[in-house]
Amino acid sequence: MAQHARFHYASLDELKADIAKLGVNIPVSSNIGILGQPMKIGNSTVPNRLAITPMEGCDGTADGRPSELTRRRYRRFAEGGSGLLWFEATAVVDEGRANPRQLSIKEETTGDFAAMLQESLSVAKEAGYERPYTVLQLTHSGRYSNPGGSGPAPRVAALNPHLDSRFPSVYVMTDEDLERLEDRYVAAAVMAAEAGFDAVDIKNCHGYLLAELLSAHTREGRYGGSFENRTRLVCNIADKIKNKLGDKIALAVRLGVFDEVPYPYGWGVDRQDYHKPDFSEPAELLKLLWGKGVKLINISMGSPYYNPHLTRPYDVGAYLPPKHPLEGVERLLGAAKTLQAAVPDAAFMGVGLSWLRHFAPYIAAGCIEQGWFNLAGFGRQAFAYPEFAGDLLRKGAFDPAKTCLACSKCTTIMRDGGCTGCVPRDGAVYVPIYKKGREGKAPAESDRVAEHV
Ligand SMILES: Cc1cc2nc3c(=O)[nH]c(=O)nc-3n(C[C@H](O)[C@H](O)[C@H](O)COP(=O)(O)O)c2cc1C
Ligand code: SF4
């Protein structure tokens, strides 16, 4: 394990040298043309392999509609030429919103989602790009629900001695609550289809409700204990959506594959050493979901609330992880490799590329060339540099002056309760929000090192 280091590479050769020195398995290829190749998901075409993975802006209206700031984000994403736009976490019930500005899909807001989607597709067309594939991520924030913004209102899958003490009290959802929730996901999928999305993602990651159920070994009843019970909710939702909508909307899943919480509370972990992943159950679940018609998979790890470095390798964050960010990149890309092999025909998105800045395309190309995944997902890069795909496709490279700096300021805004976006690269909008959120608070780690950024 090598010590944490900040990004410091002046050339691809320097990055390659560090990859070799650290002994990490990260493929690099100069065949970046591969990123411009279209691919199919069912009968739909994804025009290129550069994709935007879901990025929540926490800027919806009080009743869950996209605001002008939300629409601005998706116009910028669409204008940037990415082949796939994965719209952010959207609550299926208001009590499951993570904050009072999280998007929420319901009868009253469906028209606003349709308008946002149509606007994004028109902008992509005007910019000369083929229609991107579009996915709406459906969520219930479970333990991290805070719908009123006045404090946590956790609704959990099971008691968890590692996490419960962070909350004054937790409500364990009953089997009846969960069964009712299945129908809310179906209703949300119906509305997403009406709005015109190509696919819905049944989100199962980052410690939210469905992810927590996957490791509910200690829960009693129909949704806990055995593998079949722990995966019942996501499987039932997939079956019910398929029964109701057939091919009117495709099914996608964003699956957390390793949460680094000790067994029997962790998922994707080695039962003896929870710091080590064990992908056997995530692989089994993906095969099951593939059989149920889930065509598109996007994987992630960890939780922004208790081990954010697993989710997003960074230069500066709430704490500095013990590992080098390249080891974090390797862990994310390697998980995609292992799990894509379990469902070889699925459209599979790998993530964790933003830390690599303008060298990311070479790593994305290497992974796609070697079959580790077939879509390269970018999160923070899209906040910082929404036209990254277009620049690669039209100019052959990312512009180093525009890339994400992995400074975690967008996460700091979120934690401070603001509407988020890129502070250094989209400063006219987000510097004032960042500063307002920081008023009266101790400096964030990212402020202390800002002079180096
Ligand atoms: C501000 C912010 C918002 C995010 N919102 C979501 C979200 O709505 N849904 C989700 O699955 N992941 C979300 N993520 C995680 C990203 O999709 C992505 O997995 C992570 O940032 C790592 O990819 P990257 O290295 O390209 O940034 C968010 C991350 C950040 C920093
Ligand atoms: S604030 Fe901008 S540069 Fe910093 S991590 Fe977020 S997207 Fe990247």
Dist CA 424 CA 427 (whole Å): 5
Pairwise CA distance, residues 150 & 61, whole Å = 16
Cβ contacts of residue 345 below 8 Å, gap of 6+? 290
236 φ, ψ (degrees, to nearest 5) = -65, -40
Q: If DSSP codes are grouped into helix, strand and coil, which group holds residue 62?
A: coil
Q: Which is nearest to 358 in space by CA: 321, 332, 322, 391?
A: 391
User: Which pLDDT does position 442 carry in this prediction?
Assistant: 78
The minimum-distance atom of ligand 1 relative to the CA of 351 is 23
- Looking from the CA of 48 toward its CB, the CA atoms found within 13 Å total 25
For residue 355, the ligand 1 atom closest to its alpha carbon is 25
The response to whether residue 4 sits with its C-beta less than 6 Å from ligand 1 reads no
Q: Name the residue of 138, 305, 312 whose CB sits within 8 Å of the most ligand 1 atoms, as the mutation to test its pocket.
A: 312
Residue 246 buriedness (CB in 10 A; 0-12 / 13-18 / 19+):
exposed
SS3 90: strand
Helix (H, G, I), strand (E, B) or coil at 313: coil
Ligand at minimal distance from the CA of 429 is: 2
Per the omega criterion (within 30 degrees of 0), is the bond before 386 cis? no
Q: pLDDT tens digits for the chain (453 residues)?
A: 789 999 999 999 999 999 999 999 999 999 999 999 999 999 999 999 999 999 999 999 999 999 999 999 999 999 999 999 999 999 999 999 999 999 999 999 999 999 999 999 999 999 999 999 999 999 999 999 999 988 899 999 999 999 999 888 899 999 999 999 999 999 999 999 999 999 999 999 999 999 999 999 999 999 999 999 999 999 999 999 999 999 999 999 999 999 999 999 999 999 999 999 999 999 999 999 999 999 999 999 999 999 999 999 999 988 888 899 999 999 999 999 999 999 999 999 999 999 999 999 999 999 999 999 999 999 999 999 999 999 999 999 999 999 999 999 999 999 999 999 999 999 999 999 999 999 988 777 666 544 332
Q: Which of 6, 128, 142, 115 is nearest to 78 (CA)?
A: 128
Whether 254 lines ligand 1, by a CB cut-off of 6 Å, is: yes
Could you say which DSSP state residue 204 is in?
B
Mention every residue, 6+ apart, whose C-beta is less than 8 A from residue 435: none
| Nearest CA-CA partner of 412 in 439, 377, 385 | 439
Tokens representing 250?
Answer: 């495709």
In 3-state terms, the chain is what percent helix, strand and coil (to 5)?
Answer: 40, 15, 45
* Confidence at residue 452, expressed as pLDDT on a 0 to 100 scale: 31
Ligand 1 centroid–CA 380 distance in Å is: 7
Question: Is 207 within 8 Å of 154 (Cβ atoms)?
Answer: no
Cα 378 from chain centroid (whole Å): 9
CB 217 within 8 A of CB 265: yes
The upper half-sphere exposure of residue 238, i.e. CA atoms within 13 Å in the direction of its Cβ, equals: 26
Tokens (6 digits) for 223: 């949704």
For 233-293, the DSSP string reads HHHHHHHHHHHHHGGGSEEEEEEE------TTS-SSB-SS-TTSB-THHHHHHHHHHHHTT
Q: Which ligand is nearest to the CA of 376?
A: 1
What is the distance in angstroms between the CA of the first residue and the CA of the last residue of the chain?
25
Sign of CA dihedral 210, 421, 187, 180: positive
Is the CB of residue 81 below 6 angstroms from any atom belonging to ligand 1?
Answer: no
Ligand closest to CA 355: 1
| Rounded Cα gap, residues 175 and 221, in angstroms | 7
- Nearest protein Cα to ligand 2, atom 6: 410
Which residue out of 50, 53, 351 has the highest number of ligand 1 atoms within 8 Å of its CB and is therefore the one to mutate?
53
* Chain position carrying tokens 């015109």: 196
Residue to substitute in 101, 208, 297, 311 for testing ligand 1 pocket (most ligand atoms within 8 angstroms of CB): 311
In the Cβ-directed half-sphere of 10, how many Cα atoms lie within 13 Å?
A: 0
Q: Which two tokens stand for residue 324?
A: 């080098």
Q: Which helix (H) or strand (E) holds 136?
A: strand 133-139
* Residues whose CB is less than 8 angstroms from the CB of residue 69 and which lie 6 or more positions away in sequence, other chains included: 57, 59, 419, 421, 429
Handedness of CA 111, 41, 76, 8 (dihedral sign): positive
- 409 CB near ligand 2 (under 6 Å): yes
Establish whether residue 141 lines the binding site of ligand 1, counting it when its CB lies within 6 angstroms of any ligand atom. no
Yes or no: say if 325 and 313 are a contact pair by the CB < 8 Å rule. yes
Answer whether 405 contacts ligand 2 (Cβ < 6 A). yes
Give CA–CA dist 384/37, Å, rounded. 24
55: Cβ below 6 Å to ligand 1? yes
Phi, psi dihedrals of residue 16, rounded to the nearest 5°: -60, -40
Q: What DSSP letter does each residue of 377-409 carry, written as one string? A: EESHHHHH-TTHHHHHHHHSS--TTTS-----H
The DSSP 8-state label assigned to residue 374 in this structure reads S
